Amino acid sequence: MEQQYTDEFTISRKEWLRGGGGKASSLFRSDDKMKCCLGFYSLHAGISEQKITDVSSPGILKKRGFFIPSSVAWLVDPPEEDRLGNSQVGNLLMMINDSTTIGEAEREQQIAELFTEQGIRVNFVD
């Protein structure tokens, strides 16, 4: 059976912040305007660039009291032990996005698979 998608967004490789380890990553990095995969998705879901600038994760947005659209809630519905307010799949997406040890094709495949599990199609473009 073909996967049914409820949403779709695009990651531009030219603007994609990835593979540099977690300390240098953010949803939207102000100094060079680069975005991690969750930054692209947050913008697509209607969260403003201003709110995600230099923020490390969606859970931080929730902790700061910002409104989280229902389409993003799956990223911030945390297990009790996550002090930053991110869900397990949210943490996994950040880990894959920021990993310094996996190749680009594998990174894209793993990110696409995790979004697909949520009914979301990811398109990667140059």
Q: What are phi and psi of 12, to 5 degrees?
A: -85, 120
The model scores a pTM over 0.85: yes
Beta-bridge partners for 53:
28
Extract the tokens encoding 5.
């998608």
* Pairing between β-strand 28-29 and β-strand 7-12 as defined by DSSP bridges: unpaired
Q: What is the pLDDT of residues 22-57, one digit of tens each?
A: 777 899 999 999 999 999 999 999 999 999 999 999
pLDDT tens-digit series, residues 57-114: 998 888 888 888 888 889 987 655 556 788 999 999 999 999 999 999 999 999 999 9
d(CA 70, CA 66): 13
Using DSSP's 3-state secondary structure scheme, residue 16 falls into strand
